[in-house]
Structure 1
Amino acid sequence: MLSYLRERFASRLRERGRRRARLVSKDGRCNIEFGNVEQSRFVFLIDIWTTILDLRWRYKMTIFISAFLGSWFLFGLLWYVVAYIHKDLPEFNPSINHTPCVENINGLTSAFLFSLETQVTIGYGFRCVTEQCATAIFLLIFQSILGVIINSFMCGAILAKISRSKNRAKTITFSKNAVISKRGGKLCLLIRVANLRKSLLIGSHIYGKLLRSTVTPEGETIILDQVNIDFLVDAGNENLFFISPLTIYHIIDKNSPFFHMAAETLLQQDFELVVFLDGTVEATSATCQVRTSYIPEEVLWGYRFAPIVSKTKEGKYRVDFQNFSKTVAVDTPHCAFCLYNEKEAKAKEKKGYDNPGFVLSEVNETSDTKM
């Protein structure tokens, strides 16, 4: 038992050591880090709206609470200063005929409560501004305007964060693996994608990028060289009727970067296939993009996807997501080059070729043997 656990642990370490770095994770997040950026972080404050939207929820809620509490407390101090300067506080023993700037402010706590009531327009009616002080009237107007701005900005940021289209993208899922097999007599790379909601994505478009390291004829090494990968669906690659899971495929022809790969050499390749799905959310008309990636260990040569859609006796179509990423082994050529050579050989067998230089001549055979 101990030896088995030791071997299992060693195999896990070897797999972790062979694990490739990927630019895009399976859930679409980009694994990239920016270093030595010359511009200061002040540029992010210029586009404060996008900066707030990109923050995580914990930071956003911290800013939300701090903005309101900070403004209430700041204006509470100002109201306390106004009352202190005008000698409205009880420690100054104001006379009976004294008219304060703000009624019933007895200290810092009551000034804070009046600031809160003013900014959120609660208006309990116990504390109010009088016409005695122009400073108090100006402060009331300024806090009311600033309070509307804070409410509009923070509430708008929360609403925009909730309704961002990337949340819709989480209900679009790709198969765990990509497969390579024959489809329509051609060698293809196939990927399955599904929409988990019944609402459609309007104007959906699927495409891919193959990321790999290349060396130019000039000797320059390009780490993330991008090659376009065209994906097709039987009904076309644009304006998809995305109500049920679709199997997209890329034809491995002579123009494909997968043409010179084989089943034996696939795991030795160094590439990352990034797949994109762009569409418009039907409910909000906002555009969204779904991303995922596949490395050579996640591309299965000689497999196809198991059937997933069936029809019930009641006439309804049923999608079984248990078989969504399930694959089945099929007979597949071990390279695209072999498949094309096989087709060319079969085509030549059906054709006849004439040799114009060939001349048939009859030769009379004579025997030198005399009887």
Structure 2
Amino acid sequence: MSAVRRKFGDEYQAVGPARCSARRERQRFVDKNGRCNVQHGNLGGESSRYLSDLFTTLVDLKWRWNLLIFLLTYTVAWLVMASMWWGIAYLRGDLHQAHDDTYSPCVANVYNFPSAFLFFIETEATIGYGHRYITERCPEGIVLFLFQSLLGSVVDAFLIGCMFIKMSQPKKRAETLMFSRAAVISQRDGRLCLMFRVGNLRNSHMVSAQIRCKLIKSRQTPEGEFLPLDQCELDVGFGTGADQLFLVSPLTICHEITSESPFFCLSQRSLRSEQFEIVVILEGIVETTGMTCQARTSYTEDEVLWGHRFLPVMSLENGFFRVDYSQFHATFEVPTPPYSVKEQEEKLSLSSPFSSPVDNNKTRGEQVCLLDCVDIAGEKDKLPFKLQKISSRKESLPQRALRMSSSNTEKTFSTGDLLKIQEISPSSEGEDSDDRMQLKASKISAEALTQSTSDLELHKISPSTGALEVKLEDNLPAKL
């Protein structure tokens, strides 16, 4: 923590997990452990579909029900099969006759129901103590023996298969995938982003790990239809491939808030009154078993911290990188604008000097001339006092040239011509500046302007240029 304060400054305050747990609880669509709070009722005749898919139904049951079904199935099967063996011995009269060398019973040494039950268990479990056995003079016993073997194999395969699948379910692999308790909103690379952290506690990797985010929020359509749990996709890097994770160390998943994001109008103030839930789904293939695993969690509006950032958990040790999971959920405050992205873009557009709409009907030359007029007006205030006085009494050459460009002939000067005319403006006080202005004016009048189309138009309006020279001579000092 001291290293973080030295790096980021004392104005950053770390926030521990206790701050998130102290927030109020509300009904969730998906719990923090990934369980969905949805119950199906009033199925009617649809409940028979569960019996048609009996294997999946048994796998989806809780462990206590699985163990109960496992015990009841074997107990009932054993009792039923033992009763059938006892019934055969009873019908043949083996229970009331002495089993000696002269008498051949169906099953040797079966005198009552317990002995018949023990014979069935020895046969089913292939124990074979050798004291009880079936004889060849009992055809009904041979048929029952074959039926017992087939039925026992089916029951063993079904129940043991259900138990094995339930024990090897990848849901338990999701217990070693961690999500941060809170999500944060702060700036990254100059853009406002919603971020949360995910980590893998095991050394075995999640192959082809992919992450998705859903925004669960109620809304009403323009047609008046109310959607209580409308699902909206949050972009976490589909176009750039950032949603494909190499989950070796903890990663921070980032959702950039743009104009296409559902949080485009979300600000720090509106976050307090919003009600939504962000569902995070992490999918991947377990490296050890090759089975697909899915881990889920959710963040409500109370678990989204505005103006926070996650503390770093990676450090470089001697020859390896160390991850400190004690700081996995910790955050610290950073300076973040409390405005939404929409409000920031509106303020940026209003602060721009050229944000006013441009008339598309104007020609490119008129738009360039308009921008040059802005530059000339800004430079006028920077002239010396004497030249400002002269320019206030009579129009300067650049202003007359610009007014000529907006006449009915709809001819405009090029940018190079305007720059030449701007050179006529004096840059210093005294007689030297006046001489320089007259020399530049006479130089322009004497030049053959042949570099642009607008230069050719200057020859047509030579009387106006001569009038400008006469007016300039009236303002010259007495010596000149």
Specify the TM-score bucket, using the shorter chain as the normaliser. Answer: 0.7 to 0.9
**TM-superposed deviation, 1:289:** 1.0
The amino acid that maps onto 1:321 is: Y
Q: 2:54 aligns with which of 39, 48, 55?
A: 48
Q: 1:194 aligns with which of 185, 199, 203?
A: 199
**TM-superposed deviation, 1:93:** 5.0
CA deviation string 1:162-211 (max 9, x = no partner): 11111111111100000000011110000000001111111111111101
| Correspondence 1:52-131 to 2 at 5 A | 52-89=58-95, 91-92=96-97, 97-131=102-136
SS in 1 for 2:69: helix
Could you tell me which residue of structure 2 aligns to residue 38 of structure 1?
A: 44
Could you tell me which residue of structure 2 aligns to residue 332 of structure 1?
A: 336
Q: Which protein has the bigger strand share?
A: 1
Could you tell me which residue of structure 1 aligns to residue 399 of structure 2?
A: none
Q: 2:292 aligns with which of 287, 291, 294?
A: 287
2:334 matched to 1:320? no
Would you say the 8 A contact 1:233–1:246 is kept in 2? no
Would you say the 8 A contact 1:260–1:336 is kept in 2? yes
Could you tell me which residue of structure 1 aligns to residue 393 of structure 2?
A: 364
SS in 2 for 1:41: helix
Would you say the 8 A contact 1:233–1:249 is kept in 2? no
**TM-superposed deviation, 1:355:** 6.2
In the alignment, the residues of structure 2 paired with residue 331 and residue 354 of structure 1 have an alpha-carbon distance, to the nearest angstrom, of: 41
In the alignment, the residues of structure 2 paired with residue 127 and residue 223 of structure 1 have an alpha-carbon distance, to the nearest angstrom, of: 69
**TM-superposed deviation, 1:243:** 0.5
2:162 matched to 1:161? no
Percent of residue pairs identical: 41
Q: Greater CA deviation, 137-146 or 149-158?
A: 149-158
The amino acid that maps onto 1:252 is: I
Could you tell me which residue of structure 2 aligns to residue 141 of structure 1?
A: 146
Would you say the 8 A contact 2:99–2:108 is kept in 1? no
Could you tell me which residue of structure 2 aligns to residue 216 of structure 1?
A: 221
In the alignment, the residues of structure 2 paired with residue 191 and residue 290 of structure 1 have an alpha-carbon distance, to the nearest angstrom, of: 15
C-alpha distance 232-248 of structure 1, shift in aligned 2 (>3 A):
farther
C-alpha distance 300-238 of structure 1, shift in aligned 2 (>3 A):
closer
Could you tell me which residue of structure 1 aligns to residue 34 of structure 2?
A: 28
Would you say the 8 A contact 1:233–1:248 is kept in 2? no
In the alignment, the residues of structure 1 paired with residue 347 and residue 85 of structure 2 have an alpha-carbon distance, to the nearest angstrom, of: 89
The amino acid that maps onto 2:273 is: Q
**TM-superposed deviation, 1:342:** 5.4
Q: 2:260 aligns with which of 255, 259, 263?
A: 255
The amino acid that maps onto 2:55 is: W
The amino acid that maps onto 2:92 is: H
Which blocks of at least 5 consecutive residues in structure 1 are unaligned?
A: 1-14, 366-371
Would you say the 8 A contact 1:213–1:222 is kept in 2? yes
In the alignment, the residues of structure 2 paired with residue 257 and residue 325 of structure 1 have an alpha-carbon distance, to the nearest angstrom, of: 25
**TM-score of the superposed pair, with normalisation by structure 1:** 0.87
The amino acid that maps onto 2:64 is: R
SS in 1 for 2:268: coil
In the alignment, the residues of structure 2 paired with residue 145 and residue 28 of structure 1 have an alpha-carbon distance, to the nearest angstrom, of: 41
C-alpha distance 230-80 of structure 1, shift in aligned 2 (>3 A):
same
Q: Which protein has the bigger helix share?
A: 2
In the alignment, the residues of structure 2 paired with residue 245 and residue 85 of structure 1 have an alpha-carbon distance, to the nearest angstrom, of: 72
In the alignment, the residues of structure 1 paired with residue 238 and residue 319 of structure 2 have an alpha-carbon distance, to the nearest angstrom, of: 25
Could you tell me which residue of structure 2 aligns to residue 368 of structure 1?
A: none
In the alignment, the residues of structure 1 paired with residue 118 and residue 352 of structure 2 have an alpha-carbon distance, to the nearest angstrom, of: 90
**TM-superposed deviation, 1:120:** 1.7
**TM-superposed deviation, 1:234:** 12
SS in 1 for 2:298: strand
Would you say the 8 A contact 1:195–1:245 is kept in 2? yes
In the alignment, the residues of structure 2 paired with residue 292 and residue 37 of structure 1 have an alpha-carbon distance, to the nearest angstrom, of: 28
Would you say the 8 A contact 2:99–2:109 is kept in 1? no
Which blocks of at least 5 consecutive residues in structure 2 are unaligned?
A: 1-21, 356-366, 378-390, 395-480
CA deviation string 1:78-98 (max 9, x = no partner): 000000001001x34567522
In the alignment, the residues of structure 2 paired with residue 156 and residue 19 of structure 1 have an alpha-carbon distance, to the nearest angstrom, of: 40
**TM-superposed deviation, 1:354:** 5.8
C-alpha distance 38-120 of structure 1, shift in aligned 2 (>3 A):
same
Would you say the 8 A contact 2:236–2:243 is kept in 1? no
**TM-superposed deviation, 1:137:** 0.4
C-alpha distance 355-169 of structure 1, shift in aligned 2 (>3 A):
farther
**TM-score of the superposed pair, with normalisation by structure 2:** 0.68
Would you say the 8 A contact 2:217–2:230 is kept in 1? yes
The amino acid that maps onto 1:330 is: V
Q: Which is higher, the Rg of structure 1 or of structure 2? A: 2
2:155 matched to 1:176? no
In the alignment, the residues of structure 2 paired with residue 28 and residue 340 of structure 1 have an alpha-carbon distance, to the nearest angstrom, of: 37
The amino acid that maps onto 2:226 is: T
Would you say the 8 A contact 1:28–1:292 is kept in 2? yes
The amino acid that maps onto 2:31 is: S
CA deviation string 1:50-109 (max 9, x = no partner): 0011011111111111111111111000000000001001x3456752211001111111
Count of aligned positions: 346
**TM-superposed deviation, 1:265:** 1.5
C-alpha root-mean-square deviation of aligned residues, in Å? 2.5
The amino acid that maps onto 1:159 is: F
Could you tell me which residue of structure 2 aligns to residue 303 of structure 1?
A: 308
CA deviation string 1:11-41 (max 9, x = no partner): xxxx99x632111000000001112213242
**TM-superposed deviation, 1:248:** 0.3
C-alpha distance 25-222 of structure 1, shift in aligned 2 (>3 A):
same
